[in-house]
């Protein structure tokens, strides 16, 4: 599979990442570039997807960056793993639902290797953890498709500041919480990004 794997060690500006993905999308559409999987982190930022509502901003003093991905409002920051991609669905049967299922499976399989049991929810997109009968989100998914090329991606909370979510209604879901892997199980997640990429590529090949 001819996919470029990019791993950024320093935090990447959100707008810079978005521009790079959009440029790659155009290049892939012209058959001038490889598909991309990109692992990175962002500095503190709140982003609003195409279906957000103003009433989901609880703290009106925060800055919100409107973006063209699907979904509602979320928070990105240090300690959160971001997996962006630019993938040509014309090569994959033009099946958006299948791609979302592959992403869900990738995250669930990867966390299972850390003995953390998570699950997907058809009604509420993302990956969830049952924390003593309280359902909490540990990974968010937001995808956009243009010219049958999918981009943006998903994020996994490893050890980020969960207090930042109190300024918003994360992903527009009021009755469920947010957690991180370190809160669930305090262990070493150093190789999480490598396992995640490996599983993602395996699932894309199936």
- Active-site residue set: 171
DSSP 132: T
What residues does 153 pair with on adjacent strands? 84, 142
In total, the chain counts a number of residues equal to 206
Alpha-carbon distance values, 11 to 28, 53, 107 (Å):
25, 28, 22
Asked whether 169 and 58 are in contact (CB, 8 A), the reply is yes
Taking the CA atoms of 121, 127, 130 and 133 in sequence, report the sign of the dihedral they define: negative
């Amino acid at each position: 599979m001819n996919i470029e794997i990019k791993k950024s060690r320093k935090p990447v500006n959100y707008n810079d990442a978005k521009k790079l993905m959009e440029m790659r999308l155009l290049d892939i559409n012209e058959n001038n570039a490889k598909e991309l999987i990109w692992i990175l982190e962002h500095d503190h930022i709140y982003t609003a997807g195409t279906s957000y509502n103003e009433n989901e901003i609880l703290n009106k003093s925060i800055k919100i960056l409107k973006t063209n991905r699907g979904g509602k409002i979320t928070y990105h920051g240090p300690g959160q793993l971001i997996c962006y991609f630019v993938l040509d669905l014309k090569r994959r049967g033009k099946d958006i639902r299948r791609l979302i299922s592959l992403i869900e499976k990738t995250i669930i399989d990867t966390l299972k290797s850390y003995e953390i049991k998570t699950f997907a929810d058809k009604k509420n997109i993302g990956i969830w953890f049952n924390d003593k009968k309280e359902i909490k989100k540990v990974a968010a998914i937001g995808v956009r498709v243009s010219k049958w090329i999918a981009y943006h991606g998903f994020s996994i909370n490893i050890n980020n500041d969960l207090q930042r979510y109190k300024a918003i209604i994360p992903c527009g879901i009021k009755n469920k919480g947010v957690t991180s892997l370190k809160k669930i199980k305090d262990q070493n997640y150093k190789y999480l990004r490598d396992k995640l990429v490996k599983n993602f590529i395996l699932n894309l090949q199936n």
